[in-house]
Amino acid sequence: MKALVFTKYGSPESVLQLTEVPEPIPKEEEVLIKVHATAANDWDWSMVRGKPYLYRLMFGIKKPKHQIPGMEMAGVVEAIGSGVLSFKVGDPVYGDTSAYGFGTYAEYVCVNEKALTRKPDRIGFEEAAAISHASMLAMQGFDIGHLQDGQKVLINGAGGGVGTFGLQIAKQHNAEVTGVDTGDKLKMMDSIGYDHIIDYKKEDFTKNGKQYDLILDCKTTRSPIAYLRSLTTNGRYVTVGGHLNRLLHLFFLRPWISLFSSKSVHILALKPNKGLKVINELFESNKIECVLDGPYALEDGPKALQYFGDGKHQGKVVISV
């Protein structure tokens, strides 16, 4: 089968190569999937470059442990292990495989059945590949932020995968949503229904005097004090990821903030695929849709991953296999 393989860390276009490799064989609880679509996300971007260096503790100190990136996928079951109970050959499936391994930048991948959900007919393969990770970050982020009807919400990093789903989920709660991002994404953000848009290159939302009941942050670019300033009394700040030093700051200050303030700070640890059925229902009732960038062909995957890392994309970058 064909796969995008890397054997050393570096920029996607210098180290990822389309290579012929043996097709994997499913273990007892695994499903072999013919991949139809996969996507680019921060894990892939960090894994291929081996940066931030701290991540090498997970991905391999000197060279990559996983040689095929990719952890979001949609495809069709091609074969099953002897212990698989929930799926049969021919089932369309999708999911975030990160709890069980990587390797979706390939024509076939073996995944534990627990990482998979049946794909509804109404959702295409490209859409399904885009949903599993980003929509869960947004939904679980809002869950720990206790999103309530009519709240004022701000999404920082609003034009990417998480932000575009986040807006639509917040709108299910009639929230008034402000999105912060920059460049060409601002026009797209206007078209998908953000109530207010801030260009972070022109305005610092933590210094404009406005306050929000809930901030969902995809980038963590400001100091904890700045975030607290932008929250209403009892407001909640939730970060799903971003700048490592800023995240460490928040992690250590969090207990002190809850001791001395009515505002609170939360760092999301994603539970892969938890809540995917709720998103399925929203899709099936036409309440949300994907903002896709692509699809790009598998052989153009290195370029697509670089484009994602450069932040030039809008919504979710998907790769068709």
Ligand X SMILES: NC(=O)c1ccc[n+]([C@@H]2O[C@H](COP(=O)([O-])OP(=O)(O)OC[C@H]3O[C@@H](n4cnc5c(N)ncnc54)[C@H](OP(=O)(O)O)[C@@H]3O)[C@@H](O)[C@H]2O)c1
Q: Which of 130, 131, 180, 197 binds ligand X (CB under 6 A)?
A: 180
* Residue 38 in the binding site for ligand X (CB under 6 A): no
Nearer residue to ligand X within complex by CB, 56 or 185:
185
Q: How far is the CB of 155 from ligand X (least distance, A)?
A: 9
Angstrom distance (rounded) from CA 9 to CA 5 = 11
Helices marked H in the chain: 12-15, 42-49, 56-59, 125-144, 161-171, 185-192, 224-229, 244-260, 276-284, 301-309
Phi, psi of 237, rounded to the nearest 5 degrees: -110, 130
Q: Which of 14, 114, 144, 182 binds ligand X (CB under 6 A)?
A: 182
Nearer residue to ligand X within complex by CB, 135 or 151:
135
Nearer residue to ligand X within complex by CB, 67 or 206:
206
* Residue 44 in the binding site for ligand X (CB under 6 A): no
Neighbours of 118 (CB within 10 A): 15
Neighbours of 301 (CB within 10 A): 26
* Residue 181 in the binding site for ligand X (CB under 6 A): yes
* Residue 137 in the binding site for ligand X (CB under 6 A): yes
Nearer residue to ligand X within complex by CB, 43 or 125:
43
Nearer residue to ligand X within complex by CB, 24 or 163:
163
Amino acid (one-letter) located at 143 = D
Mark residue 109 as left, alpha or beta (left: phi above 0; alpha: psi -120 to 50; beta: remaining). beta
Q: Is residue 292 within 8 Å of residue 308, measured between CB atoms?
A: no
What torsion, rounded to 10 degrees, do the Cα atoms 259, 261, 263, 268 define?
-30
Angstrom distance (rounded) from CA 111 to CA 108 = 10
What angle in degrees, to the nearest 10, is found between the helix axes of 125-144 and 276-284?
A: 120
Task: Report the Cα 291 to chain-centroid distance in Å.
Answer: 13
* Residue 163 in the binding site for ligand X (CB under 6 A): yes
Q: Among the candidate windows 22-30, 72-80, 236-244, 299-307, which touches ligand X by CB under 6 A?
A: 236-244
Copy the structure tokens of residue 30. Answer: 């695994």
* Residue 144 in the binding site for ligand X (CB under 6 A): no
* Residue 240 in the binding site for ligand X (CB under 6 A): yes
* Residue 268 in the binding site for ligand X (CB under 6 A): yes
* Residue 250 in the binding site for ligand X (CB under 6 A): no
Residues contacting ligand X: total by CB under 6 A: 28
Q: How far is the CB of 125 from ligand X (least distance, A)?
A: 19
Q: Which of 160, 179, 235, 301 binds ligand X (CB under 6 A)?
A: 160
* Residue 185 in the binding site for ligand X (CB under 6 A): yes
Binding site for ligand X (CB under 6 A): 41-43, 134, 137, 156-157, 159-163, 180-183, 185, 200, 218-219, 221, 240-242, 268-270, 311
